[in-house]
Amino acid sequence: MGFRLEPRASTPAWLNAALSFGAVAAALILCAGLIALSGADVLSAYAIMFDNAFGNVYALTETLVKATPLVFTGLAVAVAFHAKFWNIGAEGQLLAGAMLGCWVGGFANVPGPLAIVLMLIAGAIGGAAVALAPALLRVRLKVDDVVSSLLINSIVYYVMMALIEGPWKDPMSGYPNSPPIQDAANFPILMEGTRLHLGVVLAALAAPLIWVLMRRTTLGFAIHAVGENAEASAYGGIRVNQVLLTAAAISGGLAGLAGVSEVGGIHYQVMSEISTGYGYTGIVIAMLARLNPLGVIPAAVFFAAVMTGAEAMSRATGVPVFLAQVIQATALITMLVALLFNAYRIRRTGGPAGVGAH
pLDDT tens, residue by residue, 177-211: 899 999 989 999 999 989 999 999 999 999 999 99
* pLDDT higher than 80, residue 342: no
Residue 354 included in any domain: no
Residue 356 included in any domain: no
Q: For the chain, give me the number of helices (H) and strands (E)?
A: 13, 2
Residue 358 included in any domain: no
Three-class DSSP labels, 261-302: HHHHHHHCCCECCCCCCHHHHHHHHHHHCCCCHHHHHHHHHH
Range of the domain at 153: 2-349
The three-state secondary structure class of 132 is: helix
Nearest 10 degrees: CA dihedral of 163, 165, 168, 170? 160
* pLDDT higher than 60, residue 354: no
Other C-beta atoms within 10 Å of 297: how many?
22
Q: pLDDT digits over 221-271, tens only?
A: 999 999 999 999 999 999 999 999 999 999 999 999 999 999 999 999 999
The three-state secondary structure class of 189 is: strand
Q: Which positions ≥6 away from 134 have C-beta within 8 Å?
A: 87, 89, 143, 145, 148, 149, 152, 248
Q: pLDDT digits over 285-311, tens only?
A: 998 888 999 999 999 999 999 888 888
Run of H or E residues at 2: strand 2-7
Residue 42 included in any domain: yes
CA dist 155 and 92 (Å) reads 8
Least confident of 14-18, 131-135, 298-302: 14-18
* pLDDT higher than 80, residue 7: no
* pLDDT higher than 90, residue 147: yes
Residue 182 included in any domain: yes
**What pLDDT sits at residue 175?**
81
State the chain's mean pLDDT as an integer. 89
Residue 210 included in any domain: yes
- Tell me the mean pLDDT in the region 87-115: 91
Total number of domains constituting the chain:
1
